[in-house]
Amino acid sequence: MLNNYSTEDKVLLSVDCIIFGFDKEGLKILLIKRDFAPEKGKWSLMGGFLKKSESLNDAAIRVLNHYTGLQNIYMEQFYAYSEVDRDPEERTISVAYYALINIENHNTELIRNYHAEWFNISKMPKLIFDHDDMVAHAVRRLRYRTSTKPVGFELLPEKFTMRQLLELYEAILDKELDKRNFISKINSLDILVKLNEKDMLSSRKGSYLYMFDKEKYDAKLLNHFVLNL
């Protein structure tokens, strides 16, 4: 069979990364101010083009490490964007990933160097191209993930209060949850270790601190469940 590859159209392939973080102010997203045309000076997701020697996952890992200095980040590929006119410069297909990181752990110097900034997900600026659609899609995927897999190991500090975990779920789901019901359902997953330590800043009596049992947490990631909150 003749090789007809040379006669086919060539298009660019990129990866775009929606990087979620969490702190006391809620669910956040890391954005970068674009320093080249088109749309120079406007806010954008972090991304880059696929190299010939890379898989898509390799490219996403490279982009995330380049901008945050982090490795072994939880990330998930969730959609490909291929509208013909999505990039005014070149015909470009973008494969989107969302990533979860602990805001305290990233390289703040790298972020300053790339004019990047954390925004509350509800107050982020308008983004270039179809990046707003990507973010909305990623948020929907993250919300769905809370009902089928545990969330928190990547976003919370190593030790956290039950209140912090509740606030994380409320931030992701964008709704207030019943505290007793939430604690009951989280405890039923058997993924937390209660410590003999307290956070004395949260109240006069203090709040007990917890850690994730990584082995049980990872096991839950492999098995879907239904957590109706």
Pairwise CA distance, residues 31 & 68, whole Å:
11
Cβ burial 97-132 (10 Å sphere, 16+ → b, else e)? bbbbbbbeebeeeebeebebbbeebeebeebbbbbe
CA 63 to chain centre: 13
Q: What are the two backbone dihedrals, phi and then psi, of residue 43, each rounded to the nearest 5 degrees?
A: -80, 145
Q: Give the per-residue SS3 of 152-170.
A: CCCCCCCCEEHHHHHHHHH
Please give the model's pTM, rounded to 2 decimal places: 0.90
Pick the CATH number of 160-222 from 3.30.160.40, 2.60.120.380, 1.50.10.20, 1.10.10.10: 1.10.10.10
Handedness of CA 52, 53, 55, 58 (dihedral sign): negative
- The pair of three-digit structure tokens given for residue 215, joined into one six-digit string: 């082995």
SS3 content of the chain, % helix, strand, coil (to 5): 30, 30, 40
Contact in structure between 150 and 217 (CB atoms under 8 Å): yes
Pairwise CA distance, residues 43 & 65, whole Å:
19
Contact in structure between 127 and 135 (CB atoms under 8 Å): yes
Pick the CATH number of 8-148 from 3.20.20.80, 3.40.50.2300, 3.90.79.10, 3.40.50.720: 3.90.79.10
Look at the block and give the residue holding tokens 């669910």. Answer: 27
Helix (H, G, I), strand (E, B) or coil at 80: strand
**DSSP code string of 28-75:** EEEEEE--SSSSTTSEE-EEEEPPTT--HHHHHHHHHHHHH---S-EE
Average confidence (pLDDT) per 10 residues, the chain, 229 residues = 77 97 91 91 96 97 89 92 95 97 78 84 96 98 92 92 95 95 94 93 85 93 82
Q: Would you call 67 exposed, middle or buried from its count of C-beta atoms within 10 A (0-12, 13-18, 19+)?
A: buried
146: part of which helix (H) or strand (E)? helix 131-148
Residue 220's CB: how many other CB atoms inside 10 A? Answer: 18
Q: Where do the domains of the chain lie? A: 8-148, 160-222
